[in-house]
Amino acid sequence: MRKIGAVLMATILVHFTSSPYGSGAAGEGLDFAMSATNYGHEVIALFSDDAVQMWRSDQHTPDGVKTVSKRLKALPLFDIEQLYVCEMSLQQRGINADTTQYKPLCASDIAAVIVEAEHAVTF
Amino acid sequence: MTDNFSFEWQGQQIPVDKNGYLLNTKDWDESMVPYLAREEGISLSEAHWEVVRFVRNFYLEYDTSPAIRALVNAMKQTYGPEKGNSRYLQRLFPRGPAKQATKLAGLPKPAKCL
């Protein structure tokens, strides 16, 4: 851990696994990730399983729910720049998101990302 | 919830949370800003208006209230480092730029407390 002042800063992996609108998990994960950077923690985001649907450009947002694709675009402004997406989950769901915002990873690279993080939180 | 908070605006009750943030972003109107600013003890200048409109647009674009870091980063991208820095914003909004600007812009409080 890096020490800034008297506060310990950690690298936190926020692992998204849930579909964008099936539950509140995706939104809660985004809130968590954005909050964590406010305290100076470094946040890495990983999207796998149904969470890769968060990257679909043709999202239908239910009433009263925030649009996940809009919120993803805000992540760099919160200094969350390391965004990894499971390549296999994308292929299984036939998703070809036309964005360069994230980096697709194979299974062994994903394992390395998880091992490197000091903490991992799954949503 | 047993407590309900609201203020009257042009004959309508506008619901807010216990900290004075509008519960429905759609209730907001630019004409409310001078009133909301007075409640915060801020005397509005053109510089305040610029930030209030900026955070409102930020919210419309990203569906997210900017916390201080994101506000500084976004302001820097649009207006350059003279306005995209926390000292400039802190001078305009002494009780916390992200907190006060989002309140004046009728937005939810930025997520900060876990």
Q: What is the spatial distance between Cα A35 and Cα B60, in angstroms, rounded to a whole number?
A: 19
Q: What is the spatial distance between Cα A33 and Cα A52, in angstroms, rounded to a whole number?
A: 17
- Per-residue pLDDT tens over the stretch A45-82: 999 999 999 998 888 888 888 999 999 999 999 999 99
The residues facing B22 across adjacent strands are B16
Separation of CA B17 from chain center: 14
Q: What is the spatial distance between Cα B109 and Cα A66, in angstroms, rounded to a whole number?
A: 15
Is B3's Cβ below 8 Å from some Cβ in A? no
Mean pLDDT across the stretch A89-104? 87
Partners of residue B69 in chain A, C-beta under 8 Å: 37-38, 77-79
Tell if the pTM clears 0.95, that is, is over it.
Answer: no
The residues facing B14 across adjacent strands are B7
Q: Do B70 and A74 touch (CB under 8 A)?
A: yes
Of A56-60, A73-77, B73-77, B91-95, least confident by mean pLDDT is A56-60
Interface of B with A in 33-62 (CB under 8 A): 58, 61-62
Q: Do B69 and A38 touch (CB under 8 A)?
A: yes
Which of B73, B74, B112 is facing A38, going by the closest CB pair?
B112
* DSSP annotation of B22: B
CB B67 within 8 A of CB B73: no
Nearest to B21 by CA among B11, B8, B7, B9: B7
Domain ranges of chain A: 11-122
| The one catalytic residue among B26, B31, B41, B113 | B113
Q: What is the spatial distance between Cα A64 and Cα A47, in angstroms, rounded to a whole number?
A: 24
Identity of residue A25: A
Looking at the complex, report in whole angstroms how far the Cα of residue A112 sits from the nearest Cα belonging to chain B: 27
Is A78's Cβ below 8 Å from some Cβ in B? yes
Q: What is the spatial distance between Cα A55 and Cα B63, in angstroms, rounded to a whole number?
A: 15
Overall CATH class of domain A11-122: alpha beta
Reported ipTM: 0.84
Looking at the complex, report in whole angstroms how far the Cα of residue B76 sits from the nearest Cα belonging to chain A: 10
Name the closest residue on chain B to residue A75, using Cα atoms.
Answer: B70
Q: Do A77 and B73 touch (CB under 8 A)?
A: yes
- Per-residue pLDDT tens over the stretch B8-51: 999 999 999 999 999 999 999 999 999 999 999 999 999 999 99
Structural domains in chain B, CATH included, are 7-105 (1.10.10.370)
CB B32 within 8 A of CB B9: yes
Which of A34, A70, A77 is facing B74, going by the closest CB pair?
A77
Residue B113 is a catalytic residue: yes
CB B105 within 8 A of CB B56: yes
pLDDT at A7: 62
